[in-house]
Structure 1
């Protein structure tokens, strides 16, 4: 699959541009085992890069003109790097333009280039194709123009691009996972300090299975930004009553319960979810260290209930997929993954039980919603890399 992606991207580059690329990069999508919607709430998250990639074939050209070729979309966008870069109506181009804009602001000296990219990361499945696009182009610029950027700088510039050119006020998790991913390891990331620790992700007789609902409800961005406002308001109220609280990390469940009436029903539930989820990540890290997969699965399922009932970022289709496996002996845990309102469920399942489960749940899902499910068996892979033959 990976080799096929690299070959088809390179061949497309040669066909369109009549030259061979200087470099090939692979930038992965990501999953998040646990720790949802707390990367912007000073929490910890547990992401991992996966074996689904955007492949970039890239080379310098002789002037300041740039050509971006999205092979899968059959679309091209051209611009001059000397011009002021602004968001355009092609959303995919904005992720790249945003990175270039922030590199220019940083004083990075770049010239014109041509890039063709193609992807095996399913769009809209909550696997962070946007972060892979941002980090891949950051890596490409770093190599082409010898910018001397660190991995951390590339991740932070990707995040900034998402904020300013795509209008999504995301946390750092997606870009960090895309850059720092390590084969067969999950990352426990402190989203405040960017300190991180790898945990071995040897699931022994279990594997990770994604079930893509094939729906993406349009209120993802608006819902996401509203949740951020709600928890920021909640934290401000908590700080007024408990001056020792700096972030949700040193806020306890009892504090939130005590302020239930002051916070109001909605903001209370949002804050309660955040405080509980921060603790669940710490518990999950311990469970992984001890190869205690039953506890890990239970925590994943608890996260889903919180996301669905308290944070209200799930949807009927994803709730259905999680409920459909809840009584399966072969499934230790399942939850919604990503920003919400569609996308995938992530399932911790016994190896060998996947195909039977996929068949049964696909039929139930099709009967209930008239939608074809897409299953993805995934492996944990390394982060963005220069491909060497």
Structure 2
């Protein structure tokens, strides 16, 4: 399976980017970051780590309840030139850097240079605890790095990536007695083309790339699979206060060119590469990402938005289980996917896509049990108050807080259990149907079935409607962009990413992209004054890209860059 493959190791850009035109363009970019690294740190980098952003084609806000999604990596990415710090470059800070100190700089001048170092906690775990910790990504780190989740800074994502490497590969018990077991001091130089706050997962790309950089510099990449890197990155991003479900990290790590990823999370992470339908004669289609220019910072607004959706779905699963007669322990926190499996009596090994589709269709009528009574609430209100929520859960206030609120901050007057559940199960169905359309098209012996792109577009449209009205993760600007996209000729258009701003993704005939972008520019007021590179930053076509690669030997890289000028 794709998740069990090792992280790719490339020694030349034409291995990383088989398309020669793309390799040539990237060669100029890589040469720039290598040369700038040497200017700033006084030595050449040893490695370059890359992680792409992603566009989620369908399957929004369902990964954290363990239903599958259908993302693809995009061509825009985060690059980190990295290498061990040299004593001559530490300016007297050698003692700090011997315990894994980090100097991080960014080609974008708005991000100030940062210097920090991890510290061993004074009371480390026992040798047996260290052994147990090595076998789980959930283990608490014996190292400390200060991350302010209330005022998130760019270096917080670097620290988050570092945590996973420290926790897994540098046991505190050994590090306290053997300095050779310390992480090496590191110099990092970042550059990126994924717009922040756009819904294209710049944060996951930063965490994945940072994790890779620390793995490679410390020679810890051997034996790390794509799946284990995804799990590490998921845990790492939680350090910045976001309860990520794994979709973003899986796309950034596992994807390959020309394919999207059907990624599932129950009973464990699994990923199936699905080639996107490619007509042989009729015009091909590409995905166009359009940034609403409404910045979506899911960390800052998490208690009203992202994390609130996580809590609503988790509590909704318990309440629905109670109504279905499914017994839960007082400390259990099952997801909708787990409740579905128990209701179906499905084996722990899970269901294939076909079996899951049948199961969801059978289960959907049960979701109606989450509709609250109309009495005593405002007209049209389908949510419940916190007091009602506790009562419906069957738990005491103290136990409810411990299980559902002690680990996350949320804020709401009404909690929307029914709407969120309805979105989750219908969106999970759309993901499976999207996969089916792609597989049928790929199996066709001749030209694609004529309605392939139309069907994919219809599913995207239905997904956006659900995100807007049931998940309530859209915003007026994003809704307007989707309507404009449809009027400009898109087969389908939907919000992508965490939501409340950020990007839309539209399926557009490749030979109509220029015309499409011009129509959207004329119709979307924030675009009208944009020209040239600023417009290309806001709206652009993309094809599925390769996922993250772990290292690229700079000596060979420089030879190739010099050939390309």
Which range, TM-score by smaller chain?
over 0.9
Q: Post-superposition shift, 1:326?
A: 2.5
Q: Measure the CA separation in 2 of the matches of 1:359 and 1:79.
A: 46
Which residue of 1 is the match for residue 322 of structure 2? 240
Which residue of 1 is the match for residue 346 of structure 2? none
TM-score normalised according to structure 1 size: 0.93
Q: Post-superposition shift, 1:82?
A: 4.0
Relative to structure 1, the CA distance from residue 144 to residue 151 in structure 2 (aligned partners, 3 Å threshold; closer, same or farther) is: same
Q: Post-superposition shift, 1:227?
A: 1.2
SS at match of 2:543: coil
Q: Measure the CA separation in 2 of the matches of 1:129 and 1:15.
A: 26
Q: Post-superposition shift, 1:280?
A: 0.6
Residues 1:230 and 2:312 aligned together: yes
Q: 1:71 aligns with which of 90, 104, 107?
A: 107
In 1, are the aligned partners of 2:111 and 2:154 still within 8 Å (CA)?
A: no
Residues 1:190 and 2:264 aligned together: yes
Relative to structure 1, the CA distance from residue 12 to residue 202 in structure 2 (aligned partners, 3 Å threshold; closer, same or farther) is: farther
Q: 1:317 aligns with which of 456, 464, 477?
A: 477
Residues 1:276 and 2:435 aligned together: no
Deviations 1:145-180 (A, max 9, x none): 22233322222222222212x111111111111111
SS at match of 1:377: strand
Q: Measure the CA separation in 1 of the matches of 2:117 and 2:65.
A: 38
SS at match of 1:261: coil
Q: Measure the CA separation in 2 of the matches of 1:325 and 1:140.
A: 38
Residues 1:210 and 2:284 aligned together: no
Q: Measure the CA separation in 2 of the matches of 1:93 and 1:71.
A: 14
Q: Measure the CA separation in 2 of the matches of 1:45 and 1:286.
A: 13
Q: Post-superposition shift, 1:259?
A: 3.4
SS at match of 1:214: coil
Which residue of 2 is the match for residue 308 of structure 1? 468
In 2, are the aligned partners of 1:280 and 1:299 still within 8 Å (CA)?
A: yes
Q: Measure the CA separation in 1 of the matches of 2:420 and 2:235.
A: 25
Q: 2:372 aligns with which of 261, 275, 280?
A: 261
Please say which structure displays the higher CA radius of gyration: 2
Unaligned runs of 5+ in 1: none
TM-score normalised according to structure 2 size: 0.65
Q: 2:194 aligns with which of 121, 138, 141?
A: 121
Relative to structure 1, the CA distance from residue 358 to residue 182 in structure 2 (aligned partners, 3 Å threshold; closer, same or farther) is: same
Q: How does 1:280-291 map to 2 (within 5 A)?
A: 280-291=430-441
Deviations 1:282-312 (A, max 9, x none): 0000011122222111111000000001111
SS at match of 1:216: coil
Q: Post-superposition shift, 1:136?
A: 1.1
Aligned residues: 387
Q: 1:153 aligns with which of 228, 237, 241?
A: 228
SS at match of 1:95: helix
Relative to structure 1, the CA distance from residue 313 to residue 121 in structure 2 (aligned partners, 3 Å threshold; closer, same or farther) is: same
SS at match of 1:189: strand
SS at match of 1:295: helix
SS at match of 2:63: coil
Which residue of 2 is the match for residue 180 of structure 1? 254
Q: Post-superposition shift, 1:81?
A: 3.4
Q: How does 1:10-159 map to 2 (within 5 A)?
A: 10-62=34-86, 63-64=98-99, 65-72=101-108, 73-82=110-119, 84-88=144-148, 91-108=153-170, 109=181, 110-147=183-220, 148=222, 149-159=224-234
Relative to structure 1, the CA distance from residue 74 to residue 275 in structure 2 (aligned partners, 3 Å threshold; closer, same or farther) is: closer
Relative to structure 1, the CA distance from residue 168 to residue 337 in structure 2 (aligned partners, 3 Å threshold; closer, same or farther) is: same
Q: Post-superposition shift, 1:275?
A: 0.6
